[in-house]
Structure 1
């Protein structure tokens, strides 16, 4: 089989992509899905809604957890304003359907998460989970489109958005029957951490963009750690809870993603 060179301006090298490398992400994806299936149901921790933040500001309960979502809106607006003008360019056309979904999900996270944290409980958690799932789905499609321009990202964005919604619906259904299962929802949080570095490495994404996305993935893991240590961080620092800190770190992670993509577009414009 003849290998082809990536010469479309989206990669940092004209190195040929070997056939076995092309199928590696699919094999890894199947392996992750199989691991989730074998593991069995993943339930929400019983004390998940017991957050450490009990601050109040201007009559807003849990103000730290609520107001710390504002950063997501700022990043989403910044991303939309900087990427929208390039949506039909050769550098962004394939990835735009995914990044559009990512930015919409990110913006909706502000309202969903704030609504949930005003009165934490499983009844409101759906509105926090859904936009996060949409953002994860969009990020997958966006990077796939950037690195593999032959993919039909419009269809993929619709398909993964439906899967994201179905995953949240599945959790609601199973939770109401006393056996909540987060596996489909968590899948859209795990896959980007694994597939994005793989795609960018295999298809030689620009070095700066790979660094930006790697920083985002690292910050995301740090944010999840802050979430787990919610009460410990609140007790240690006093002025901020772990969950509030999680929102701030996750905001930085999304900002790194937007910066990485806009940086690539800026370099492409200068090279014209």
Structure 2
């Protein structure tokens, strides 16, 4: 697949997704969204499993930032996006933990915003590595604006009584399709592509666990689907951190 064909396919995917979302109409948050399966406390910490399982994001984010700061070769193409990704993981740990202590829509903003920024950072990093002729600051700036807008739009429409999730969902779903297309078109190395494929698979499993929150707790008893969502999402992030560190060593 050539880079031009990959770019055209990506554009077609984005336009198709926008048209589909527009045709579908607003996507509202489920009325039972905040009713998580595992409400057990530990040492007076409410919803302990869902709160504490966010620590993995903090560890991976700190590790990624630490690796960036310890290098002596300076920034490389895509580092702005990866830096945003690692920073957003750390913010996700704080925001998600804060939200799960007492789940409601006001706190959910601080859970969703860093997740949206993490998606923007990762997509921007891959896009800039695959299209070296583009200005990295401009690409990342546009994606950050899109990330903030996606959460702001949900919250604004939520306060109007609707709560339209379309931009936020779009920002989460598009990287799963666009990143493999971008990497295929740019001739990205096999190890990097396999690493991203594994991370995407883990993220899809995480979303599946989220949807089966109550059923998983009923079946496994010791852990809920939402807690497992955090675990698998952390594994996905750790794989991407490993990909970043290993590919940088090769590029250097």
Give 1:105 deviation, angstroms: 1.1
User: Taking structure 1 as reference, are residues 116 and 160 closer, same or farther at Cα in structure 2, changes over 3 Å only?
Assistant: same
In structure 1, what is the Cα distance between the partners aligned to 2:182 and 2:42? 44
Name which of 214, 239, 246 aligns with 1:256: 239
Q: Is the 8 A contact 1:75 1:254 kept in 2?
A: yes
Q: Is the 8 A contact 2:209 2:226 kept in 1?
A: yes
Q: Is the 8 A contact 2:6 2:181 kept in 1?
A: no
* Residue 132 of structure 2 corresponds to residue 169 of structure 1: no
Matched with 1:83 is: 68
Q: Is the 8 A contact 1:227 1:243 kept in 2?
A: yes
Give 1:182 deviation, angstroms: 0.4
Q: Provide, for residues 224-268 of structure 1, a one-character-per-residue CA deviation record: whole Å limited to 9, x for no partner.
A: 000000000001111111000100000000011111121112223
Matched with 2:125 is: 142
User: Taking structure 1 as reference, are residues 264 and 102 closer, same or farther at Cα in structure 2, changes over 3 Å only?
Assistant: same
TM-score normalised by length of structure 1: 0.89
Q: Is the 8 A contact 1:197 1:210 kept in 2?
A: yes
Matched with 1:73 is: 58
Give 1:150 deviation, angstroms: 1.4
Q: Is the 8 A contact 2:6 2:184 kept in 1?
A: no
User: Taking structure 1 as reference, are residues 262 and 123 closer, same or farther at Cα in structure 2, changes over 3 Å only?
Assistant: same
Aligned CA-pair RMSD: 1.6
Give 1:18 deviation, angstroms: 5.8
Listed as ranges, the gaps of 5+ residues in structure 1 are: 1-15
In structure 1, what is the Cα distance between the partners aligned to 2:73 and 2:132? 13
Q: Is the 8 A contact 1:226 1:243 kept in 2?
A: yes
Matched with 2:104 is: 121
In structure 2, what is the Cα distance between the partners aligned to 1:189 and 1:180? 17
Name which of 15, 21, 41 aligns with 1:56: 41
User: Taking structure 1 as reference, are residues 85 and 145 closer, same or farther at Cα in structure 2, changes over 3 Å only?
Assistant: farther
Matched with 2:205 is: 222
3-state secondary structure, aligned to 1:57: coil
- The structure that has the greater radius of gyration is 1
Give 1:19 deviation, angstroms: 3.5
Give 1:20 deviation, angstroms: 3.2
Q: Is the 8 A contact 1:222 1:249 kept in 2?
A: yes
In structure 2, what is the Cα distance between the partners aligned to 1:205 and 1:261? 13
Matched with 1:17 is: 2
In structure 1, what is the Cα distance between the partners aligned to 2:106 and 2:248? 42
Question: 1 or 2, which has the higher helix percentage?
Answer: 2
Give 1:122 deviation, angstroms: 1.2
Name which of 142, 157, 163 aligns with 1:159: 142
